[in-house]
Amino acid sequence: MENSSQIFRVGVVGTGLMGSGIAAVFASAGRAVFLFDKDPKRLDEATKKIVDIYQEMHGVGLTSLSQAEILAHIKPVSELADLKAVDFIIEAVPEVLEIKHDLYRELETVVEERVILASNTSGFMPSKLSEFLAHPNRFIVAHFWNPPHAIPLVEVVPSQHTLPSVVERTIALLRESQAEPVLVEKEIPGFIGNRLQYAILREALAIVRSGTASPEAVDTVMKASLGRRYATVGPLETADLGGLDTFLTIASHLMPELAKDEDVLELMRVRVEAGHDGLRSGEGFYRWPPERAQEVIQRRNADLLRRRVADLG
Ligand SMILES: NC(=O)c1ccc[n+]([C@@H]2O[C@H](COP(=O)([O-])OP(=O)(O)OC[C@H]3O[C@@H](n4cnc5c(N)ncnc54)[C@H](O)[C@@H]3O)[C@@H](O)[C@H]2O)c1
């Protein structure tokens, strides 16, 4: 098949929050998915999580496969060596460089040179991740967003060593899986998405810290305006639509006023030190009783999935 990834079997290593979602995306696209986690309990839970994700997808018509068909595509394995038969491996183990390096060292003893090794890292550069690999030319970053079944973007980031064929096949595989790959041509910490996300977070923290507005007001402004618009037109399209002359004038006055340094992180540091790290502890900028947490996550997923269905027509 022309432009096909020719990738039929995918290995997913690490079946936590992201690994389970990524596995569901590939399985619902008809790939045979081999799942490995060093924690057998996590591996047991992964199948149930994938069924839950499948039900959300099926409920809005994002997959026509039956639950039995999806499950037939999933094969939990208890040894890393059981990934020998796959064509493409993506790891979603914790964002700790040593853990990822140790895993790659072990994987290279298991799989052939033809197998593509991908990382779902949130921000490590691929050249750093692949620095100890015997074959860094088969390594690539494929950064899915949470939740992977509802947000289509995958940032594809090669290092200077990555083979063009590895880039092409990774992009083809993602397209065949209804994802929306975007190639980041030059590696850079945080890639594109997290740089944009953290630039906004810095300004949001600065506004709250200065007493200008509450966290609720900042979040409402984003949700009721920019958040909606950005789903249809990006920031550079918006500038073109509004007129670059106007945007240039406003930016010349406003940009010198924007937050530039890390002192705003204090606002998060005091909360983390007090044990208020957000949803997990039940308190962060907001209080998160379980019913509220469930309601917000369900609403977020439902909105995102509606949008996915509309995009796919
Ligand atoms: N959480 C997010 O919103 C998000 C979004 C995008 C990317 N990421 C990235 O995805 C990766 C995974 O994040 P997560 O939130 O799913 O983590 P997680 O903690 O939910 O899951 C990590 C899983 O990896 C397993 N694991 C640890 N060491 C292992 C090893 N050596 N071999 C096999 N399995 C191992 C753990 O048992 C666990 O199940 C990280 O690199 C993270 O930066 C996370």
What is the total count of domains within the chain? 1
Provide residues with CB under 6 Å of ligand 1. 13-19, 36-39, 42, 92-95, 99, 103, 120-122, 144-146
- Among 79, 62, 81, 82, which residue's Cα sits nearest to residue 70? 62
- What does DSSP say about strands 116-119 and 88-91: parallel, antiparallel, or unpaired? parallel
At 272-297, the pLDDT tens digits run 999 999 999 999 999 999 999 999 99
State in Å: Cα 224 to ligand 1 middle.
32
Q: What is the mean pLDDT of residues 88-92?
A: 98
Residue 58 in any domain: the answer is: yes
pLDDT at 1 over 50: no
Output the CA torsion 105→107→108→109 (10° steps).
100
State in Å: Cα 141 to ligand 1 middle.
14
Give the lowest-confidence range in 1-5, 46-50, 276-280, 300-304: 1-5
Residue 17 in any domain: the answer is: yes
Q: What is the mean pLDDT of the chain?
A: 96
Residue 51 in any domain: the answer is: yes
Q: What is the mean pLDDT of residues 125-130?
A: 98
State in Å: Cα 248 to ligand 1 middle.
41
Residue 176 in any domain: the answer is: yes
Residue 141 lies in domain: 9-183
The CATH number for 116's domain is: 3.40.50.720
Please give the structure tokens belonging to residue 247.
């945007």
Residue 209 in any domain: the answer is: no
At 16-34, the pLDDT tens digits run 999 999 999 999 999 999 9
Q: What is the mean pLDDT of residues 248-264?
A: 97
DSSP state string for 165-181: HHHHHHHHHHHHTT-EE
3-state secondary structure of 258: coil
Residue 253 in any domain: the answer is: no
Residue 243 in any domain: the answer is: no
Residue 287 in any domain: the answer is: no
Choosing from 35, 36, 37 the residue with most ligand 1 atoms within 8 A of its CB, the one to mutate for a pocket test is 37
